[in-house]
Structures are given as structure tokens and as C-alpha cells.
């Protein structure tokens, strides 16, 4: 399953297989941040792409080889630094994380994964969303080089706010070579300011 998923999502974002194109339009998108843990758990269990294993509820992991991994995780916590929340019955964040040491990782492939998991309505909301923050800027790059922290320099990301949700995309792109790791997160717009402040001060 993972090999087929990665082959279509990560390698062929512009020329997808017929079964995959059908999935793009069939994938339900009714379970998202703001809904209950029970609703999201039920959606995950029935999702044709996620297909969780026995015991998996709000987190789904797939890995055919050590070189390719995919994780979907829904959480009652806002993204970024862990904070206390009284409402543990409502999902606030859903994150898609991928690692591909064979083909590499790009923002376009992460966007395709968003469309596969959620369908066209969320994909279009993301594409229409306004970019409110991008990183790293040159100052952050210079600081990372001075502090000899190549990982910080490698992190490239952006925050967007759409009509329905906010989105956080991040790819770890080294100075030389291609990126292997990336994530895209769907979050409540009310949590955007917290995440932006943390990323600016990271």
C-alpha cells in the first residue's frame, strides 16, 4: 500500500494513475480540525487511503521500507509547543508527514498528499490561501550559519490562512542535495497566531 501510495503521490504528481485520480474525488473531507475525536476517528477508519491497522485511531503510520514512511496524525493539541488544553474532545490539528529517501520530498508532493487525503475542497482552500509567513529569511540563515546549526538553516516553510483553515508546510532542504522530509498541517485559524509567533522566535 505505501509503495503504491508513494509512487503516485511522491513521484507522479502531474500524471497520476487512473485509480488514484478516482480517489482524489472520492476521498471524504468531512472530518477536520474543529470536529470531535469520535468523528475524526470514524473518518480515519473508513478512509480509502489511510486504512489504519488494528489499534490505530488518531495516528496512522505506513512504511514498506526504512527509506519511505508516511504518517497521518490528528491531535487535540494546537501545533507547535505543547500547551494545556481543557477541551480534549475536539481535534485542533491534523498533520501529514512523509519521508522519502528514494525520490526526495517537495512542496508539490505534499500538496498532492493534501488533495488525496482531503479531496478538492480543502486542496482548493489551501491553494487560495494567503501566505502570512515564510521562512527562513536571510537573517535567520546567517544566524544558523554563525551558530553552526545546519538543521535550522535547512528548514523551509510557510504559513497560509484560507477561508476554512490555516495551513503549515515545512520541508527540510539541506544546502546541498535534495530534501527527504516534509510535513503539511491543517489547523484551526484561531491557533495560527500562536504557531506564527513560535516559528518567528524559533
Q: Give residue-wise pLDDT tens across range 23-64.
A: 444 444 468 999 999 999 999 999 999 999 999 999 999 987
pLDDT at 202: 77
Q: At what angle do helices 18-26 and 107-118 cross, to 10 degrees?
A: 60
Domain that holds residue 106: 2-200
pLDDT at 91: 97
Nearest by Cα to 107 from 57, 168, 187, 62: 168
Edge-to-edge, what's the strand order for the sheet holding 130-135? 59-65, 68-75, 93-100, 181-187, 166-172, 155-161, 130-135
Structural domain total, the chain: 1
10-residue block means of pLDDT along the chain (202 residues)?
50 35 45 94 94 94 89 95 82 96 93 95 97 80 56 82 97 84 97 94 81
pTM passes above 0.75: yes
Cell numbers at 90, concatenated? 475536539
Ordered alpha helix ranges (H), 47-137: 107-118, 120-128
pLDDT at 74: 97
Residues with Cβ within 8 Å of residue 183, at least 6 apart in sequence: 95, 96, 97, 98, 110, 168, 169, 170
Amino acid at each position: 500500500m505505501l509503495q503504491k501510495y508513494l509512487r503516485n503521490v511522491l513521484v507522479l504528481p502531474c500524471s497520476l494513475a487512473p485509480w488514484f485520480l478516482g480517489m482524489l474525488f472520492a476521498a471524504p473531507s468531512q472530518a477536520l480540525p474543529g470536529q470531535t475525536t469520535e468523528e475524526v476517528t470514524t473518518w480515519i477508519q473508513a478512509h480509502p487511503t489511510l486504512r489504519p491497522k488494528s489499534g490505530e485511531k488518531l495516528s496512522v503510520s505506513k512504511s514498506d521500507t526504512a527509506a519511505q514512511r508516511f504518517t497521518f496524525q490528528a491531535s487535540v493539541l494546537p501545533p507547535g509547543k505543547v500547551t494545556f488544553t481543557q477541551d480534549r474532545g475536539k481535534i485542533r490539528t491534523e498533520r501529514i508527514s512523509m519521508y522519502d529517501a528514494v525520490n526526495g520530498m517537495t512542496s508539490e508532493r505534499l500538496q498532492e498528499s493534501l488533495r488525496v487525503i482531503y479531496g478538492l475542497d480543502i486542496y482548493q482552500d489551501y491553494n487560495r490561501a494567503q501566505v502570512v509567513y515564510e521562512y527562513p529569511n536571510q537573517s535567520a540563515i546567517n544566524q544558523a550559519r554563525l551558530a553552526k546549526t545546519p538543521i535550522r538553516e535547512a528548514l523551509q516553510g510557510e504559513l497560509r490562512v484560507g477561508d476554512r483553515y490555516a495551513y503549515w508546510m515545512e520541508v527540510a532542504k539541506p544546502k546541498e542535495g535534495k530534501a527527504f522530509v516534509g510535513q503539511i498541517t491543517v489547523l484551526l485559524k484561531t491557533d495560527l497566531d500562536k504557531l506564527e509567533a513560535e516559528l518567528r522566535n524559533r
